[in-house]
Amino acid sequence: MLETASKEIDETRQGEAIERYSKGASSNGRKVYIESYGCQMNFSDSEIVASILEKEGYETTKLMQDADIVFVNTCSIREKAEQTVRKRLSSFHKVKEEKPGMIIGVLGCMAERMKSKLLDEEKLVDIVVGPDAYRDLPQLVNQVDGGRKAVNVILSKEETYGDISPVRLGGNGVTSFVSITRGCDNMCTFCVVPFTRGRERSRDPKTIVNEVRELSANGYKEVTLLGQNVDSYLWYGGGPKKEFEKLSEEEKAQSVNFAQLMEMVAQVDPNVRVRFSTSHPKDMTDDVLHVMAKYDNICNYIHLPFQSGNSRVLEMMNRGYSREWYLDRVNAIRRIIPDCAISADVIAGFCSETEEEHQDTLSLMEEVKYHFSYMFKYSERPNTLAQRKFEDDVPEEVKQRRLSEIIALQQEHSFEQLKKDIGKTYKVLVEGVSKKSDKELYGRNTHNSVVVFPRGNYKAGDYVDVKINDCTSATLLGEAVA
Ligand code: 5AD
Ligand code: SF4
């Protein structure tokens, strides 16, 4: 399978059992198994859920069969993601038939989108909890123990879980996610996220810096700051987000924007690398790029979704920028950080997209030459603006053909970009032993490209200078140099 088409696949593959690396708490004798689907934010949220439950004495297990409670943290972004979750719920239900006391809960975006309909329609589920209600989980489990079904899908304008130190689940002990905003205010017409994750709010920078300090003290070497749109991060002392111009003088004085936050995080420990995701072309400022250029430990890599290369389609998507604006942002990246890798998200076959407009997507890809892309067919989502206003009129086979063309072109570009690295030496942060051979390690360079090299005496968490000798279309191959 093409690596460049892997996000859809990740949605299923990543739902593997997760392991706990936390300190023990006094146990209440009940075990919880959490399976996560979808974006990085969901994986990060599952760590918050584990932390909330651990405080109440629950233990997490990586074996579903051992669990008293099974939670599925779900994704609604495309129809296929929801189908995967439905299949999993059915298979859990079969286990429950053998083990009647087992509780099954749905967390996250699908819980928020479907609400109590999940209890009525699926009949496979005991608990339904939206992304802003995780603090209520212990109480909801008690409710189910008392013989009732339990639902909390209330969205909050304030909840950031800022004070909660996540239990690191299933990770490599080297890289970690740190969420900096929740929700999204952008209302892209194709997207369900503003409905499932609610209004955008920024997390107190003090709690973010503390979490990064804690990770550094525990031996972590890389943090990825997470938000649906990191560039609109704005802290001014609490409450839901406001535009900077609308702040009082006092609020302005104590405000922290994304560029400032990134600088604070980069200063925590020069040995801890900083990444972030996702950037929004309409909000990404030159200030952010200058901070990236200033700090060696901020990686030269930006995930900058474009969605479409055509301005009319972008307008219909309500993305807030044109093709020209997007290319101007790419030029700013090239000017300020000449050696910066860029990756993207793109959607094939959005409502009314013509063949010429699809060609504009391909030509934008030619102009930018992304290192990597996540590529999708448009999938109509219930209650989104696009579903209400536009017809999903690009035939399935046309969507598929356009997507295949996008994937083929991206493969060429990924290969082209990686080939440029042959002969260069990169500082690689080792993440673990290569899946293909235990004689090799893998890690990532500043561009987020995977680098595989002979193991020697190195181990996960080491920074190693690796000279690149060769590459495949998705991986750099090299050897450690002194
Ligand atoms: N159909 C297809 N792709 C979508 N995305 C979001 N909503 C949809 C949809 N309805 C893609 C966008 C976004 C990424 C996370 O998922 O490209 O950037
Ligand atoms: Fe969805 Fe757009 Fe928000 Fe991204 S920026 S989460 S695509 S609404």
Given a cut of 90, whether residue 394 has pLDDT beyond it is: yes
Same domain, 413 and 442: no
Instruction: Report which protein residue has its CA nearest ligand 2's atom 5.
Output: 186
Same domain, 225 and 264: yes
CA–CA separation, 409 vs 342, rounded Å?
15
Same domain, 429 and 412: no
pLDDT tens for residues 216-234? Answer: 999 999 999 999 999 999 9
Q: Is residue 157 part of a domain?
A: no
Same domain, 147 and 194: no
* Residue 239: per-residue pLDDT: 61
Same domain, 201 and 146: no
User: Ligand 1 pocket, 78 CB below 6 A?
Assistant: yes
Domain count within the chain:
3
Counting residues of the chain whose pLDDT is more than 70, the rounded percentage is 94
User: Ligand 1 pocket, 307 CB below 6 A?
Assistant: yes
Given a cut of 60, whether residue 24 has pLDDT beyond it is: no
Q: Is residue 327 part of a domain?
A: yes
Same domain, 146 and 184: no
Amino acid (one-letter) located at 155: L
Same domain, 415 and 440: no
Same domain, 276 and 294: yes
Instruction: Report which protein residue has its CA nearest ligand 1's atom 14.
Output: 345
Instruction: State the residue range of the domain holding 221.
Output: 175-419
Q: Is residue 167 part of a domain?
A: no
Name the one residue in this structure whose structure tokens are 């890798």: 341
* Residue 140: per-residue pLDDT: 97
CA–CA separation, 304 vs 319, rounded Å?
12
Among residues 378, 398, 419, which one ends one of the domains?
Answer: 419
* Residue 171: per-residue pLDDT: 84
Q: Is residue 169 part of a domain?
A: no
- Adjacent-strand bridge partners of 407: none
Same domain, 359 and 321: yes
Q: What is the mean pLDDT of residues 384-411?
A: 98
Q: Torsion over CA of 428, 432, 434 and 435, rounded to 10 degrees? A: -140
pLDDT tens for residues 447-478? Answer: 999 999 999 999 999 999 999 999 998 999 99
Averaged confidence pLDDT in the chain: 92
Given a cut of 70, whether residue 340 has pLDDT beyond it is: yes
Q: What is the mean pLDDT of residues 173-196?
A: 96
In CATH, what number is assigned to the domain containing residue 109? 3.40.50.2300
In CATH, what number is assigned to the domain containing residue 447? 2.40.50.140
User: Ligand 1 pocket, 316 CB below 6 A?
Assistant: no
Distance 46 CA to ligand 1 centre (A): 21
Q: Which ligand is nearest to the CA of 228?
A: 2
Same domain, 93 and 184: no
In CATH, what number is assigned to the domain containing residue 286? 3.80.30.20
Of 265, 251, 317, 261, residue with least CA distance to 287? 261
Q: Which two tokens stand for residue 254?
A: 């104590």
Q: Are 423 and 476 contacting, i.e. CB atoms less than 8 angstroms apart? A: no
Among residues 109, 137, 152, which one ends one of the domains?
Answer: 152
Among residues 419, 443, 468, which one ends one of the domains?
Answer: 419
Distance 176 CA to ligand 2 centre (A): 22
Q: Is residue 164 part of a domain?
A: no
pLDDT tens for residues 109-150? Answer: 999 999 999 888 777 899 999 999 999 999 999 999 999 999
* Residue 120: per-residue pLDDT: 83
Q: Is residue 411 part of a domain?
A: yes
Give the N- to C-terminal CA distance of the chain in Å, as an integer. Answer: 36
Name the one residue in this structure whose structure tokens are 């890289």: 175
pLDDT tens for residues 229-258? Answer: 999 999 987 666 677 888 888 888 889 999
CA–CA separation, 442 vs 449, rounded Å?
10
Distance 442 CA to ligand 1 centre (A): 29
* Residue 22: per-residue pLDDT: 39
- Of 77, 83, 197, the residue with max ligand 1 atoms within 8 A of its CB, to mutate for a pocket test, comes to 77
Same domain, 401 and 415: yes
Distance 180 CA to ligand 1 centre (A): 21
Q: Which ligand is nearest to the CA of 227?
A: 2
Q: Is residue 159 part of a domain?
A: no
Higher local confidence (pLDDT), 212 or 10 = 212
User: Ligand 1 pocket, 38 CB below 6 A?
Assistant: no
Write out residues with Cβ below 6 Å of ligand 2: 184, 186-188, 191, 193-194, 228-229, 280
Same domain, 13 and 73: yes
Q: Is residue 160 part of a domain?
A: no
